[in-house]
Amino acid sequence: MAIPKKEPLEEVKFEDSSVAKPNRTQTGIPGLDDLLGGGIPEGNLVVVSGDPGAGKTSFCIEFLYNGVVKYGENGVYISLEESEPEIVKQAAYYGFDFIPLIKDRRLKIETIQLYDFEKLKNAIEETVDSVKARRIVIDPGVVFRLFFEKELEARKSILDLGRMLKRLGGTTIITNEITLENSHSLFGLEEYVADGVVLLYHTKIENRFIRSVGVLKMRGTKISEKLHPLELGLNGLKVLSKQELFEEL
């Protein structure tokens, strides 16, 4: 007796009526949301990695500013390095006025330089709650390395932080620094907890520097597997999403 041949299972797509499409947190950065299927899935934790000058801080500034002004979502900027006046000044350079957003309690910038990780976690949670933030930025994540002496302790604590951030329900950006010589993982955050990884590059090709962006992963999203040119000017970041990097050289 012949055994009936099984039909292959259909791949489930977000377009199927039986599966709800994820709500998207639009970054508002020109061209970037085109690479992300309309934006970052709401509630995702995303690591934005890049070398010096690649545009990580500009990314964070625009993500928060657009959140308040364009999409009505409050935000917090947790800085582990720079002061509020320094961040406000950087934002103003690119035409993003943080001052009225701070006065209206739609945006909060908190500089935390406590090298006690539990106190850091508590401070992040309190800051998010204070303005009911839907967008969270922690910059720069590489400073986490100064909190720990043992890598195992660091790994457990960082993964616990990632789980806490996802529990808060906002869409979170954590920055990380990479260079041509090495790439520091945030103790497994990218591999095990982060829903997405966006890579920003600022590299020298022949006689000029080129900026580019690539999406390494983004849970719940069909992503482009190409590097795309990235411009950083007086109006902030712009992704040339219709071009591939080496097409424009």
Per the domain annotation, does 210 fall within a domain? no
> Which residues have C-beta within 8 Å of that of residue 118, sequence separation ≥ 6?
none
Residues 62 and 66: their CA atoms lie apart, in Å, by 6
pLDDT category of residue 90 using cuts at 50, 70 and 90:
very high
CATH of the domain at 161: 3.40.50.300
- 204: confidence class by pLDDT, cuts 50, 70, 90: confident
- Specify the number of domains making up the chain: 1
Beta-bridge partners for 167: none
- Is residue 55, in this structure, part of any structural domain at all? yes
Q: What is the pLDDT of residues 130-145, one digit of tens each?
A: 999 999 999 998 888 8
pLDDT mean across residues, the chain: 87
**Domain limits for position 52:** 39-198
Note whether residue 144 is domain-resident: yes
Place of tokens 């090298």: 115
Which residues, at least 6 apart from 94, have a Cβ–Cβ distance to it below 8 Å? 58, 61, 62, 234, 235, 236
Q: Is residue 78 part of a domain?
A: yes
Residue 243 belongs to a domain: no
156-169 as b/e: b if 16+ CB within 10 A = ebbbebbeebbebe
> pLDDT confidence of 177, banded at 50, 70, 90?
confident
Please give the pLDDT value at position 18. 44
Q: Which residues contact 245 (CB under 8 A, 6 or more apart)?
A: 210, 212, 226, 227, 228, 229
On whether residue 166 sits in a domain, the answer given is yes
With respect to residue 181, please indicate whether it lies within any of the assigned structural domains. yes
User: What does the pLDDT average to over 214-234?
Assistant: 92
Summarize pLDDT for 39-61 with one digit per residue, the tens. 999 999 999 999 888 999 999 99
* pLDDT for residue 32 is more than 50: yes
Which of 19-23, 110-114, 163-167 is the least confident region?
19-23
Look at residue 186 and tell me if it is in a domain: yes
- pTM summary value: 0.87
Q: Could you report the per-residue pLDDT of 113-171, keeping only the tens digit for each?
A: 877 889 999 999 999 999 999 999 999 988 888 888 888 888 888 889 999 999 999 99
Residue 11 banded pLDDT, cuts 50, 70, 90: very low
